[in-house]
């Protein structure tokens, strides 16, 4: 503990030291400092006589570069704090506080400090929708797809689709309609019908990032976990289509029924196309890594994999489809085929690297949400906020309870009342809703009201619902069995085990699944997975041993395993061992 | 081979398929397509009656997001092509063509195709200086520092500094002075003295990215490799200071001698501060990872490491220091201390992940350089280009030959005539010079002339000098010994070996180095490196074994090692083995 703070203070000290040096360097050439605020030799040398004042756009551009560096540096410090905090949460087994909640609080504190000190960090504090959608979201979703329990997911796909498609639509109608009605009555700020339904559809979608962060570790009931997570991922396509439909309703003034059918058709096309993009790229990656032997050059192998993971997202977004869905399906299919064509080193790398990247992306998202509390000029309308929260609960109730009853008609394992309560309670909203609210182009005031409302709802669901999910689960399970030790709200802690567990196939009960499974084993797996020769397997094993040996040698300075062999009869002498110790 | 093309054509087909679907989805709502060109529910719903035409700025913003996705997608396709090509170069042992040259050619071809088809990909083709400096450069330099042969580097530090500091200054004066003189005589396009020297200083700096890409694999003579690479990295600080000094000379009109002293002082301060930032962050990371036990949560460990690698770059650039130098020193020190505090999984990860990221960044840089040939509106002045190339050769000759003689006075192992020739010949310019040329804010025409000239010189040195380095080396070494088999121009091929070799300490001959080495062993290493307990080492070993086992189990479906044991008496039964197979 004390060590952490020492390090942090060291870093802060170092940064002050350095910034003062940077300042000094500047002062040396004080007259030209207006021109010299360029990180690099950005020679603004229209000779002094001709044009003594630098062109106004150029210095800005370079200032931007320097600002960006500073921006990244502060973001990294925030990330570092968050890592320390996550570590402390895990170490002291403080399981009731989800990591995401803690990070939001850190972000809020930093935002408050920045706000109070009056530093000009507007750029830094701004939550950039584009950065969020292009940089932060894809790795989080891909990782969740890659480490998804496929058996559970596909078994529950029917129910998930019911909740994601029909449920989200119900919720959007309830929130949008209620908001419009209340506005007409004069109880809340008044919006047009279109604005209400657009907002309703963006606020109704449950957020995958928040859900993952809070629910991932709650693996007492995998079905529950999968239902909530699945809904949060698949409702992206619904959300896009719904908004388009609402827009087309206004401008085209076409008939209601025709619009609904067109929307359904559009949804099916988008859903299929998005998933297809993901699946095609994943299969292409499996095929490619099966037949092109990149295993001997791990840098190429890993780069190729990274490229294949991002391509479907880029393509789907460029085609106005759901990037989230396509990267999810890509992750699922890659973990089923491509994963087994990798060298052992690359397998380990991919999992660890993606987990780390996803962790950092998630942390950034929550830190930004926290900082947004103090960085935006908010226009809070208390009645609106309270009513919308109420409407969200009502909408979600009308989503979960009737649709659970519907789904139970077709399910072998029914969704019981307790699970329904937890699902109703766990409708977490998150960064996607907030980013979408930022991109609304209503009038300035309306936009500001909606952004503030969204932020409050997002933070309310994350902080309040997120923190109280574990107590609720415990309360509901109090009578049945005590699961105290198994519960944890830390997503990061049990990562290793999650990877281990997830790549073994399950016994698959449903009939259609068994049919696909047989087809898979008979045709797809032989086609897309590589048959390693015994020699290649041996080589892979040797490689891992050599790497372990290198680690050991680095620590001890010698490559003999004397000390270990005394403890345990672990390693027989092998040829690689002698080779690497040269 | 055939497989590669099949895959590529598959991907291209898929992308066309998808883009047509995307198109269709659009057509469904054709009237509102102007508003609907939004990736997400960007509800531009000021009701139709009020403002039927969407606000001009907002759709642009969303178009930007979609453009960015498309941009990334195409970039990934280019990267994929480059990986295939690198793989083919390695597989068919076509060692004479450096990978970077091949990638530049690919980039040029793609640029040409884009240009001819007249597609509106201006955004895509543009080489963005900010992206280059903030995203692409840091991982390349960090990776080079992390896998640097520290013994060789510090042994030659004196000579490297002579070449980097004095040599670059000489070269800049020769090129700048020559350019000014020729302009005055009327032989070439006329620039002011300041413009000439500014351009001279940016074109004189040898480029680390190009040097790494071409020289890294040329490890016949590590000293030569180190001298060229070291110069290319350390001249960044010189370049920044020189430009500042030139600027201050114009505007302040201060005395020459005072300016020179101020420049020297400024250089020393910048050099020390940049290196100090890197070293401090690296030591902080070692200290942190020694005392905070993140080894049990590998995602946190790896994230923490990533954060520490980028922080010095961000801070140094934000303080207007040399980010390149600080990230280099950070890499060097981290590989000496922090590396040994990592869990074995994280050690493997860090190396592979950084190599992959650096590989991709390098590939992007060279592909962009290739594409720049056809994407910019160039203004070529043939006499200027030819004269500058000539001046560059002269300047580099006046750098290398006299300074080698100077350095040889103090060196135990002298730089012989052959090495001097290769060093003279290998003054590769690269993306840094080009990015700097783009940020020059001269008048439009002058800037255009200089950008085009820089691009030609960069491509000339990479394509011509880069390709002919290996033949030259062979020619010069023809009499002494034939090293045909050891030579390779592929940087990617021998990565594994490079990592293995570089983390073992060498016998250190020079006295000052030996002094530091003793101090290091006695005080620094015990302070910054962790002493792993035997139990921890065993745990690390088991972890790696478990991961290997998981890979094996995934491939075969069972965890027994039967088939392998027949081949080789490799693995004794161990407890972990049984555990993971559950």
3-class SS letters over B539-561: HHHHHHHHHHHHHHHHHHCCCCC
- Span A267-274, mean pLDDT? 87
The residue of chain B with its CA nearest to that of A42 is B440
pLDDT band at B512 (very low <50, low <70, confident <90, very high): low
- Span B320-339, mean pLDDT? 89
pLDDT band at A498 (very low <50, low <70, confident <90, very high): very low
pLDDT band at A277 (very low <50, low <70, confident <90, very high): very high
pLDDT band at B579 (very low <50, low <70, confident <90, very high): very low
Q: Which residue, among B180, B236, B169, B171, has the nearest Cα to B207 in the 3D structure? A: B236
The continuous run of DSSP H or E covering B219 comes out as: none
Mean pLDDT is lowest, of A407-411, B18-22, B148-152, B182-186, for B18-22
How far is residue A79's CA from residue A270's CA, in Å, rounded to a whole number?
36
Beta-bridge partners for B571: A571
Question: Does the structure show a pLDDT above 70 at A441?
Answer: yes
Residues of B in contact with A37 (CB under 8 A): 320
- Span A226-231, mean pLDDT? 86
pLDDT band at A512 (very low <50, low <70, confident <90, very high): low
Q: Are B226 and B153 in contact (CB under 8 A)?
A: yes
pLDDT computed for residue B178 by the predictor: 92
Question: Does the structure show a pLDDT above 80 at B481?
Answer: no
Q: Show Cβ contacts of residue B427 under 8 Å, excluding neighbours closer than 6 positions.
A: B206, B392, B396, B461, B465
pLDDT computed for residue A487 by the predictor: 47
- Answer whether A320 sits within 8 Å of B262, measured CB to CB: no
The residue of chain A with its CA nearest to that of B201 is A41
In terms of residues, how long is chain A?
582
More confident residue, A485 or B313: B313
pLDDT computed for residue A248 by the predictor: 65
- Answer whether B28 sits within 8 Å of A300, measured CB to CB: no
pLDDT computed for residue B403 by the predictor: 92
Report the residue from B266, B315, B547 with minimal CB separation from A73: B315
Question: Does the structure show a pLDDT above 90 at A135?
Answer: no
Residues of B in contact with A29 (CB under 8 A): 244, 247-248, 252
The continuous run of DSSP H or E covering A561 comes out as: none
- Alpha-carbon gap: B167 to the closest alpha carbon of chain A (Å): 18
More confident residue, A570 or A471: A471
**Residue from B59, B279, B300 whose CB has the most chain A CBs within 10 Å, to mutate:** B300
pLDDT computed for residue B42 by the predictor: 40
More confident residue, A278 or B99: A278
pLDDT band at A315 (very low <50, low <70, confident <90, very high): very high
Q: Is the confidence metric ipTM above 0.90 for this complex?
A: no
Beta-bridge partners for A571: B571
Residues of A in contact with B29 (CB under 8 A): 244, 247-248, 252
How far is residue B343's CA from residue B408's CA, in Å, rounded to a whole number?
43
pLDDT band at A542 (very low <50, low <70, confident <90, very high): confident
- Residue A571's φ and ψ, nearest 5 degrees, are -115, 125
Question: Does the structure show a pLDDT above 70 at A305?
Answer: yes
Q: Show Cβ contacts of residue A354 under 8 Å, excluding neighbours closer than 6 positions.
A: A139, A142, A143, A146, A309
How far is residue B116's CA from residue B442's CA, in Å, rounded to a whole number?
30
Q: Report CA B207 to chain centroid distance, whole Å.
A: 9
- Span B136-159, mean pLDDT? 86
Number of helical H runs and strand E runs in chain A: 28, 0
Mean pLDDT is lowest, of A506-515, B157-166, B220-229, for A506-515
- Span A556-572, mean pLDDT? 45
pLDDT computed for residue B351 by the predictor: 84
Mean pLDDT is lowest, of A418-422, B206-210, B215-219, B252-256, for B252-256
- Alpha-carbon gap: B74 to the closest alpha carbon of chain A (Å): 9
Q: If you write DSSP's letter for every residue of A444-513 in order, what string do you get? A: HHHHHHHHHHHHHHHHIIIIIIHHHHHHHHHHHTTTT---TTT----TTTTHHHHHHHHTSPPP--SHHH
Question: Does the structure show a pLDDT above 60 at A24?
Answer: no
B58: exposed, middle or buried (C-beta count within 10 Å: 0-12, 13-18, 19+)? middle
Q: Which residue, among A143, A133, A158, A249, has the nearest Cα to A201 in the 3D structure? A: A249
- Answer whether A319 sits within 8 Å of B29, measured CB to CB: no
CA distances from A142 to A361, B241, B361, B438 (A): 12, 44, 21, 36
Q: Which residue, among B25, B54, B70, has the nearest Cα to A440 in the 3D structure? A: B54
- Alpha-carbon gap: A408 to the closest alpha carbon of chain B (Å): 32
In terms of residues, how long is chain B?
582
Report the residue from A3, A43, A571 with minimal CB separation from B243: A43
- Answer whether A580 sits within 8 Å of B500, measured CB to CB: yes
- Alpha-carbon gap: A460 to the closest alpha carbon of chain B (Å): 23
Q: Which residue, among A201, A185, A197, has the nearest Cα to A235 in the 3D structure? A: A201
pLDDT computed for residue A58 by the predictor: 40
Question: Does the structure show a pLDDT above 80 at B370?
Answer: yes
- Residue B571's φ and ψ, nearest 5 degrees, are -115, 125
Average pLDDT, chain B: 75
How far is residue B335's CA from residue B354's CA, in Å, rounded to a whole number?
12
pTM, entire model = 0.80
- Apex B310 CA angle, B307 and B316, nearest 5: 135
- Answer whether A252 sits within 8 Å of B32, measured CB to CB: yes
Q: Are B145 and B279 in contact (CB under 8 A)?
A: no
Question: Does the structure show a pLDDT above 50 at A426?
Answer: yes
- Answer whether A129 sits within 8 Å of B348, measured CB to CB: no
pLDDT band at B259 (very low <50, low <70, confident <90, very high): confident
Question: Does the structure show a pLDDT above 80 at A96?
Answer: no
Residues of B in contact with A440 (CB under 8 A): 42-43
- Alpha-carbon gap: B4 to the closest alpha carbon of chain A (Å): 7
Question: Does the structure show a pLDDT above 60 at B166?
Answer: yes
Report the residue from B10, B48, B504 with minimal CB separation from A250: B48
- Span B365-372, mean pLDDT? 87
- Span B375-387, mean pLDDT? 83
Residues of B in contact with A317 (CB under 8 A): 39, 65-66, 69
Q: Which residue, among A208, A175, A247, has the nearest Cα to A440 in the 3D structure? A: A247
* Tens digit of each residue's pLDDT (9 = 90 or more) over B293-329: 888 888 889 999 999 999 999 999 888 888 888 999 9
Residues of A in contact with B443 (CB under 8 A): 46
More confident residue, B338 or A8: B338
Mean pLDDT is lowest, of A16-20, A162-166, A220-224, for A16-20
How far is residue A465's CA from residue B347's CA, in Å, rounded to a whole number?
38
pLDDT band at A279 (very low <50, low <70, confident <90, very high): very high
More confident residue, A107 or A56: A107
- Alpha-carbon gap: B95 to the closest alpha carbon of chain A (Å): 16
Residues of A in contact with B58 (CB under 8 A): 439, 441
Q: Are A307 and A138 in contact (CB under 8 A)?
A: no
The residue of chain B with its CA nearest to that of A194 is B45
**Residue from B15, B40, B517 whose CB has the most chain A CBs within 10 Å, to mutate:** B40
Average pLDDT, chain A: 75
Q: Which residue, among A527, A504, A503, A507, has the nearest Cα to A517 in the 3D structure? A: A507
How far is residue B374's CA from residue A213's CA, in Å, rounded to a whole number?
46
How far is residue B459's CA from residue B428's CA, in Å, rounded to a whole number?
9
pLDDT band at B401 (very low <50, low <70, confident <90, very high): very high
pLDDT computed for residue A256 by the predictor: 64
- Alpha-carbon gap: B408 to the closest alpha carbon of chain A (Å): 32
Q: Are B283 and B333 in contact (CB under 8 A)?
A: yes
CA distances from B45 to A192, A482, A563, B34 (A): 9, 52, 72, 13
Q: Between chain A and chain B, how many beta carbons pairs sit less than 8 Å apart?
A: 522
Report the residue from B129, B266, B314 with minimal CB separation from A76: B314
């Amino acid at each position: 503990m004390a060590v952490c703070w020492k390090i942090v203070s060291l870093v802060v000290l170092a940064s002050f030291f350095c910034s003062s040096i940077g300042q000094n360097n500047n002062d040396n050439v004080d007259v030209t400092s207006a021109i010299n605020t360029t990180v690099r030799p950005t020679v603004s040398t229209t000779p002094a006589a001709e044009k003594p004042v630098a062109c106004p756009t150029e210095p800005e551009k370079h200032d931007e570069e320097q600002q960006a560096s500073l921006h990244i540096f502060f973001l990294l410090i925030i990330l570092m704090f968050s890592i320390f905090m996550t570590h402390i949460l895990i170490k002291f087994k403080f399981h009731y506080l989800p990591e995401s909640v803690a990070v939001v609080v850190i972000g809020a504190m930093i935002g408050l400090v920045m706000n109070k000190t009056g530093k000009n960090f507007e750029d830094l504090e701004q939550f950039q929708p584009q950065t969020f959608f292009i940089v932060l979201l894809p790795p989080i979703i891909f990782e969740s797809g890659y480490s998804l329990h496929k058996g559970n997911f596909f078994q529950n796909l029917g129910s998930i689709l019911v909740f994601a498609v029909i449920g989200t639509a119900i919720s959007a109608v309830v929130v949008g309609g209620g908001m419009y009605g209340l506005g007409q009555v004069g109880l809340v700020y008044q919006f047009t019908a279109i604005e209400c339904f657009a907002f309703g559809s963006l606020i109704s979608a449950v957020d995958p990032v928040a859900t993952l962060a809070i629910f991932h570790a709650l693996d007492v009931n995998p079905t529950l976990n999968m239902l909530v997570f699945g809904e949060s991922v698949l409702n992206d396509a619904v959300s896009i289509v719904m908004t388009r439909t609402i827009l087309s309703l206004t401008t085209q003034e076409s008939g209601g029924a025709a619009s609904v059918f067109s929307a359904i058709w559009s949804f099916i096309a988008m859903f299929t196309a998005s998933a297809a993009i993901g699946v095609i790229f994943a299969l292409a990656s499996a095929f490619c890594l099966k037949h092109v032997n990149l295993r001997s050059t791990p840098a190429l192998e890993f780069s190729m994999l990274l490229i294949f993971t991002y391509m479907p997202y880029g393509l789907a977004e460029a085609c106005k489809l759901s990037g989230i869905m396509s990267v999810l399906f890509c992750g699922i299919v890659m973990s089923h085929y491509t994963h087994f064509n990798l060298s052992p080193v690359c397998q380990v790398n991919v999992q660890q690297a993606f987990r780390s990247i996803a962790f950092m992306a998630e942390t950034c998202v929550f830190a930004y949400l926290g900082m947004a509390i103090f960085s935006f000029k908010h226009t809070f309308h208390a009645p609106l906020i309270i009513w919308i929260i109420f409407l969200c609960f009502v909408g979600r109730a009308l989503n979960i309870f009737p649709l659970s009853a519907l789904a139970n008609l077709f399910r072998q394992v029914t969704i019981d009342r307790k699970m329904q309560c937890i699902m109703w309670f766990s409708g977490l909203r998150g960064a996607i809703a907030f980013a979408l609210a930022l991109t609304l182009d209503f009038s300035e005031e309306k936009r500001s009201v909606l952004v503030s409302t969204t932020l409050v709802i997002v933070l309310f669901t994350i902080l309040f619902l997120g923190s109280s999910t574990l107590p609720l689960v415990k309360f509901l399970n109090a009578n049945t069995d005590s699961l105290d030790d198994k519960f944890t709200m830390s997503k990061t802690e049990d990562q290793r085990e999650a990877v281990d567990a997830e790549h073994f196939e399950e016994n698959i009960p449903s009939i259609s699944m068994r049919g696909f499974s047989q087809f898979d084993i008979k045709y797809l797996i032989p086609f897309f997975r590589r048959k390693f020769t015994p020699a290649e397997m041996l080589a892979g094993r040797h490689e891992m041993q050599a790497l372990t040996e290198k680690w050991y040698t680095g620590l001890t300075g010698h490559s003999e395993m004397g000390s270990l062999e005394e403890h345990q009869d672990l390693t027989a002498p092998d040829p690689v061992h002698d080779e690497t110790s040269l």
